[in-house]
A and B are shown apart, each in its own frame.
Chain A
Amino acid sequence: MKFAQGIRVRCHDADALVALLREWDAGQATTDVMGYIGTRLMADRDDPGSYLILAEFAEVDGDLTSAEEAERNNQREETERWAAKLRSLVEGEPEWIHFDELYRTGITGDLRTG
């Protein structure tokens, strides 16, 4: 089962958010395979300036769940540095929300990860 970590923020500089996520992905792409598998940044049409960052996680070797992989990711210094940069870009404190994935179009069965 995949896991998604949502981060709801208010920000007036979407380009800076995109740049921050690009920088993160560039760093993750050439490291060893970990639980993090990608991010989406969504802009709220009904609430300009409100954004949802949706970071997805999956299992790696089957010894940790995807949610546990996300928790392990949270503990990394690299992640803490990224979170500090995020806080410097947004208004107020980000809201963190957590989701287990129950369904995804086209995917069946209990996906385990590589």
Chain B
Amino acid sequence: MHEEQPHDSFERSLLIARGIATAVAPDGGLEPVQASLLGAVTDALTDHHIDFSTLEPLGPDELAAVLAADSAESRRRVVHHMVLGELILRPVPPDVARRVALYAGALEIDDQFVRVARRYAQGAFGLAWLDLHRSGFAEHWEMARMDQLKTSVRLEHQLAAGVEDRELAERWAAFEHLPPGTLGRGVWDMYRGRGFGLPGSIGGASAYLAQHDFVHVIADYGTNLNGELEVFSLIGRADPDPKGFAWLATLVGLFETGYVADAGFFIGDLKERRLDRPEMHVRIADALRRGRNLCDRLGTDLLEIDYHDFAERPIDESRVELGFDDKSARAVAAGSPGAFDLAGMSQIQQKYNATLEPSS
């Protein structure tokens, strides 16, 4: 989440961790879920293992001194690390939201996600969603080109469900005839295996959101809600614009805290807590690491890449050319399933998949 690199000293990482922990700790001290998630993220991004539950306090001015030589973007990433630590609280204590704003101020960062968390703490969930949507997504949507998305139909907004577009649907259907192992065929197999409607067909994902399905295949993430958390952690962090954090903030709101009820194509689902498991913290942290490295190498929003150019090429080759790291051993050990593993499918997807004949 923040710009710490593996070469950062343990001492510096520890100071940053102390500042973050102090900022986001509720009255009774850091919640175990916060300590676990924040620790996993620091571990993945810096290779330094820090136990967030035992840290000494560090005030905003002291943290600002530690980061005095860092760029504004680097300081903003630290603030986002804090915001992640507060967004998983339910409810967000007003004191925590105010304190994070105080730390952000000390770091001279005026950030829309700090404001969103303050709105959550205030109980202004509708306004927070408008804020998140307008601040986090609108600009990206304007940058996504229709030719790149292979659609001629303009959507109402970037998170909207897809609309009928015969040409686009035919283009996606043609992926079926590509050789197994190619990116296009992989995405088609993923859609077929789960009963997803193809982009351009009624009920299918929009051309814009379908972009993330290419990332599922390239990054090898499942399509159940845990897989969506992973893939959007990666996509958001790979975005050179820190506004990419909106993806993770939105999915945590949809699938963990309920702060976001409905984000267009994605509907909230709180049937089970997802972020109360250390394994998910490791998986999300690893996705952030992969995203951070992609950001450094590629410097492009992954949703703005023309994946149709890669459709006929082997998945592995696309993965290498775009600069995707492999999952870490820790993420795999934590149970991160691949895009075609049954464990990476929701129960409904698994049931559908069981009815299928093997494809050629």
- The residues of A with any CB-CB pair to B shorter than 8 Å are 2, 25-26, 28-30, 32-33, 36-38, 58-62, 111-114
Contact assessment for A30 and B131 in the assembled complex, using a CB-CB cutoff below 8 Å: yes
Contact assessment for B127 and A29 in the assembled complex, using a CB-CB cutoff below 8 Å: yes
Contact assessment for B127 and A114 in the assembled complex, using a CB-CB cutoff below 8 Å: no
- Known contacts A2-B123, A37-B124, A38-B127; A29 and B117 CB within 8 A of each other: no
- Main secondary structure on chain A at its contact with chain B? loop
Question: Which B residues are in CB contact (< 8 Å) with A62?
Answer: 94
Question: Which B residues are in CB contact (< 8 Å) with A26?
Answer: 130, 134
Question: Which B residues are in CB contact (< 8 Å) with A37?
Answer: 119, 122-124, 127
Contact assessment for A112 and B126 in the assembled complex, using a CB-CB cutoff below 8 Å: no
Question: Which B residues are in CB contact (< 8 Å) with A61?
Answer: 98
Question: Which A residues are in CB contact (< 8 Å) with B98?
Answer: 61, 114
Of B119, B125, B134, which is within 8 A of A114 by CB?
B119
Contact assessment for B92 and A114 in the assembled complex, using a CB-CB cutoff below 8 Å: yes
A95 to chain B, nearest CB (A): 25
- Known contacts A30-B112, A33-B115, A61-B98; A114 and B122 CB within 8 A of each other: yes
Asked whether any CB of chain A lies closer than 8 Å to the CB of B121, the reply is yes
Asked whether any CB of chain A lies closer than 8 Å to the CB of B103, the reply is no
Contact assessment for A33 and B118 in the assembled complex, using a CB-CB cutoff below 8 Å: yes
Question: Which A residues are in CB contact (< 8 Å) with B112?
Answer: 30
Asked whether any CB of chain A lies closer than 8 Å to the CB of B97, the reply is yes
A113 to chain B, nearest CB (A): 4
Bound form: Cα–Cα A29–B122 in Å = 13
Bound form: Cα–Cα A30–B112 in Å = 8
Question: Which A residues are in CB contact (< 8 Å) with B94?
Answer: 59, 62, 111-114
Interface membership of chain B positions 83-119, coded 1 if the CB is closer than 8 angstroms to chain A and 0 otherwise: 0000000001011011001000000000010010111
Bound form: Cα–Cα A28–B131 in Å = 8
Question: Which B residues are in CB contact (< 8 Å) with A33?
Answer: 115, 118-119, 122, 124
Bound form: Cα–Cα A30–B131 in Å = 5
Bound form: Cα–Cα A30–B246 in Å = 14
In the complex, residue of chain B having the shortest beta-carbon distance to the beta carbon of A37 = B124
